[in-house]
Structure 1
Amino acid sequence: MFSVKSVVLTSALALSAVFTGWQAQAQQQGGGIVITTTPEPSLITNALSSAPTTAEIATKIFDGLLEYDMDLNPKPSLAESWEIGEDGKTVTFKLRAGVKWHDGAPFTSADVAFSLLKVVKDYHPRGKGNLGPVETIDTPDELTVVLNLAHPYVPLMKGLSSLEAPIVPRHIYENTDYRANPAVNAPIGTGPYRFVEWAKGSHIRLERNPAYWRAGLPYLDTLTFRFIADSATRAAGVESGEIDVATFGTINPVEMRRLEKTDGISIAYGGYEAIAPVMMLELNTAQAPFDKKEVRQAVAYALDRQRIIDTVWYGFGKPARGPISSFVKGAGAWTEEGVRDYTVADRLDIAKKLLDEAGYPAGADGKRFKIVHDVATFGEDWRRMGEVIRQQLGRIGIEVELRTRDYPTFVREVHNNYDFQMTSTWSIGMADPTLGVQRNTWTKTINKEVPFGNVSQYSNPEVDALWVAAQTEADPAKRNAHFHNLQRLLVEDSPIIWIMDMDLVAMQRDRVKDLITSPLGLRGGLYDVWVQP
């Protein structure tokens, strides 16, 4: 006797079998994709740098202890399982057996201890935020790692991906100058892809790791990252099929809007849920004129964020209210309650009054002073944004000179030497503000040896105390209260002008499948990406 339910179930199972068979056939190993990104990185080991293009490449070569699902829950990677002690002060990881480095050496717990304590914690710009209370690491056997913490640390389990805490080979780096080690730019990892070559000014090529511990993965034989100087040429490459994926900032947003209407090309949304990116202007608070809060606030009032988003970025984002992205609103860390609003109707009058109070009256020509804006070297759109900012600040009497440097010089002068007045950039906030946002305004991250930290050199004991309180507080409501107070204080002081919560989208050819499968998106391993013939 047949029933409707049994017929439907039988049909569903048949369709499922057909679909599964088609998918299995489609997802065969083979082929490759070309990704264009900019600027060309200065190094490609992200344990030593958080530069965006470094991260985009290195996360294919290295693994972390953990990965994360779209709800930001931890998933196994190099660690198969983990256990947090009752007092929250120990975390024990059981590592995956049989994993090999790309040079054939075995991966062990000694690599993890070395990477986290000796490299990531000291050299990664977010290392102290991710691993701050980790004091020692025990390795009772080759497949067991025990992290010993000074105090319970809620954010720890959210910052152990290959983006934040890549595991590097101890046998390659130990007893060397890490930054000068040849492996920095010819990296050896455990990840899905192996480094093949870096043709400076042209491309970096990676190939499939045949010994990857995820059986049958990656699907692709090659990943090629191409560096093309001109935005129009990159757009033409996507349109012609020469380029498969273009990262955010490589193609002019108005061109992205045009290309998304083209058959075979799409905008890839998502893949930045765990990144919570914010675009901003960093101000050097250690020198005039930005040593005065009134001047910083005047700049914050003068900027028309929505106009910048509409005319430069063509809607790929929304106005930022402060250092913490609205992407984490669901977790309760974001607020606008009690946060100074710089978008009020009389904002330009307020800005002019603040500059008068700071001792910078307008001259007969309406000008008050001149500053230099070091434009981020992430693409032509950043220069366009600089021009819009120059116009907007000109309305309150601030003359702006735009300065563009090559990427290595930009990093050295701005982020190592602190030789700048104002600079544009974007920052990864991460799923927990302690992991990403903290580094920009915590006194302990003023460090010329580690780029992309607190380059504003902003130091406020009250802010520092709140960051420390957020590190040690386990109660979610109380932690969020600390974050809310931080937003109020930081937006009031404005050592940084937060412009836009970014939609970090990419352009892709539709033949590329499963490009965004994790909250890290293009900054994940891309081991499950495949191409349709």
Structure 2
Amino acid sequence: MNENNKIKFTQLPRVLSKLEKRIVIVLIAAAITGTAWWGYDYYIKSTQKVPKKGGVYTEGFVGQPKFVNPIIAQANTVDMDITELVYSSLIKYDANNNIVLDLAESYEISEDAKEFTIRLKKNLKWHDGEPFKADDVIYTVQSIQNQSLQSSLKSNFDKTTAEKIDDDTVKFSLKEPYSPFITNLTFGILPKHIWELIEPANIPLAELNLQPIGTGPYKFKEFQKNKIGEIKTYTLELNEDYYRDKPYIEKVNLNFYQTKEELAAALEDKKIDGLAYDSETQEIVETMEWLNKYAMKLPRYNAVFINYGNNEDLEFKKVREALQKAIDKKDLTDKTFNGKVDIVNEPILENFTGYNPELKTFEYNLSESNDILHNAGWNEVDENGYRKKEGKILEFTLSVSDFEEHVNVAKYLQEKWKEIGVKINIETFSPADIQEKIRQREYDMILFGQVTGHDPDPYPFWHSSQRQEPGLNLTSMKDEDIDKLLEQARETADKDTRAEKYKDFQEKLTDNAVAIFLYSPRYLYAISDKIKGLDEGLITKPSERFSEINKWYIKTKREKNSNFER
């Protein structure tokens, strides 16, 4: 630009009219805005939002921690939750029920399903900096097997020997073939160098149960007590030596309350970011828009188990079939649970080995139920509408726990069965008393829930050898074909073969009509919408909601998007 042009340019404001000046200003502003917008748009398109380290998550609980120790924590959900965060296991499962290698680097199963060899990840550290080795695994298993500890995990390792092959390899040897044994290896591992100094009988008394040292994503920092010795807050911090993808959330606070009302109040005041909830707190939780609500699938089903050996009228298969066809499961789940459960028609649930969506089951049909009973000779009706045969009322007793959910289901069944002329007497029991009822097998029918775990192995629940204490077969069924299928399924390590055995078993079980499968409950969990990365899927126990907490995050940043095209 020469001097004359420069002078002319500087004189523009003098020669431009007011309107022309405004137009110039607008054009300049538009150019600046457009450039800025283009730059911002390019930045957004060429980058992506990703998690970054930082933030604190606080969850509320009713209860108190007592044994943050994986081999004795099983009876307390609070203990189990903290254990999941602090300790690691050989394997774990993801939200789709797939095995995830945790402390294990790999594993091998022998063809006869009697030997399970686990190779461990190398160079792992405990929270105190000591190296993790095979000795820790062996010590933990032997502690579980120690009778003086009375670990609820002991039955998983009966007839099992754990052997150290080298510092990074252990082998489990079983006396009998059991292909689902791999699912038993989800227990947390204890550090031998700390716990071996304590006599097994004294382990429940040790301070280490509240100040644990593990290899998990978070490590113990501190806890705060009130004046009467109750723990009010328990704090965990990020384990910087964690061997898998490190968590993004730096600190986890666990706050404890005495009642559900106190817990709900803390939620309303936003003193906590998340909680598990049930029918008592559901109404409050549902009103809070800042919470994301999850209904996580559980490998549990509730059913009516028919003990026909205790009532001669139930020995008639046609009577059992009529009871099956009289239940409208969708109506039951809608009215009793607002649809927040899954309808179940078989003991092996969706996403598990052997699940059969094509299984032919009993469809709701009151007319057919009435016809079946009429044709079976129950064609007299008394003044109350109940069927009779030779002067005897068609009458059964349904035993249930006094848990509100079970009582409501029992009342629904009672009403539906009255519609086909069957009289049902409901007996309610405390959890302890209903367990005694089961031990003695003193019931006509019982409404009860069963937990299958990651592998649905039906043997403990349906093999005829399990009809007496401590077995879990709650019916009177003895079927040689079913027994054989369940035995063969345990003996093969081939998943596809086992799936076919399970499917054949379920067809025969349905034909026996000894159980009325109703619903599978879900674990209800609410968490602040500031928490991202939680995968709503399958868990086998509540503590497994933390199984992939290393993927949760609060804070984000932007980084270059490798898929961006100019």
- Give the TM-score normalised by structure 1: 0.72
Residues 1:303 and 2:307 aligned together: no
**What's the secondary structure of 2:251's corresponding residue?**
coil
Following superposition of structure 1 onto structure 2, how do residues 74-473 of structure 1 map, counting pairs within 5 Å?
74-84=99-109, 89-95=115-121, 97-100=123-126, 108-113=133-138, 115-116=140-141, 119=144, 135-149=160-174, 154-161=179-186, 165-168=187-190, 171=195, 176=200, 181-182=204-205, 186=209, 188=212, 190=214, 191=216, 192=218, 206-208=234-236, 213-214=241-242, 217=247, 219-224=250-255, 226=257, 228=259, 238-241=267-270, 244-247=273-276, 249-251=278-280, 255=283, 259-260=285-286, 262-270=288-296, 272=297, 275-284=298-307, 287-288=310-311, 292=315, 294=317, 296-328=320-352, 333-337=355-359, 339-349=360-370, 352-353=373-374, 365=384, 366=386, 368-375=394-401, 377=403, 380-395=404-419, 396-405=421-430, 407=431, 409=432, 412-414=435-437, 422-434=445-457, 437-443=458-464, 445=466, 448=469, 453-456=472-475, 459-473=478-492
**What's the secondary structure of 1:312's corresponding residue?**
helix
In the aligned structure 2, how far is the partner of 1:182 from the partner of 1:291?
50
In the aligned structure 2, how far is the partner of 1:444 from the partner of 1:49?
30
Which residue in 1 is equivalent to 2:36? Answer: none
Task: Tell me the alpha carbon deviations over residues 426-468 of structure 1, each in whole angstroms, 9 at most, x when there is no partner.
Answer: 333344322xx44322345567468xx4455755443222112
> Is the contact between residue 277 and residue 428 of structure 1 (CA under 8 Å) also seen in structure 2?
yes
Q: Which has the larger radius of gyration?
A: 2
**AA of the residue aligned to 2:336:** V
| C-alpha deviation, 1:267, in angstroms | 1.7
**AA of the residue aligned to 1:145:** V
**AA of the residue aligned to 2:102:** S
| C-alpha deviation, 1:154, in angstroms | 4.9
| C-alpha deviation, 1:308, in angstroms | 1.2
Alpha-carbon distance change, 145 to 484 in structure 1, aligned in 2, over 3 angstroms = same
Q: Percent of counterpart pairs with the same letter?
A: 15
How many corresponding residue pairs? Answer: 491
| C-alpha deviation, 1:264, in angstroms | 0.7
**AA of the residue aligned to 2:47:** L
| C-alpha deviation, 1:517, in angstroms | 6.8
**AA of the residue aligned to 1:440:** F
Which residue in 1 is equivalent to 2:510? Answer: 491
The alignment yields a C-alpha RMSD, in angstroms, of 4.9
Gaps (5+ residues) in structure 2?
Answer: 1-38, 387-392, 557-566
| C-alpha deviation, 1:159, in angstroms | 4.8
Which residue in 2 is equivalent to 1:3? Answer: none
- Give the TM-score normalised by structure 2: 0.68
Residues 1:523 and 2:549 aligned together: no
Gaps (5+ residues) in structure 1?
Answer: 1-6
| C-alpha deviation, 1:499, in angstroms | 0.5
Which residue in 1 is equivalent to 2:15? Answer: none
| C-alpha deviation, 1:522, in angstroms | 4.5
Task: Tell me the alpha carbon deviations over residues 509-529 of structure 1, each in whole angstroms, 9 at most, x when there is no partner.
Answer: 324443437743843235434
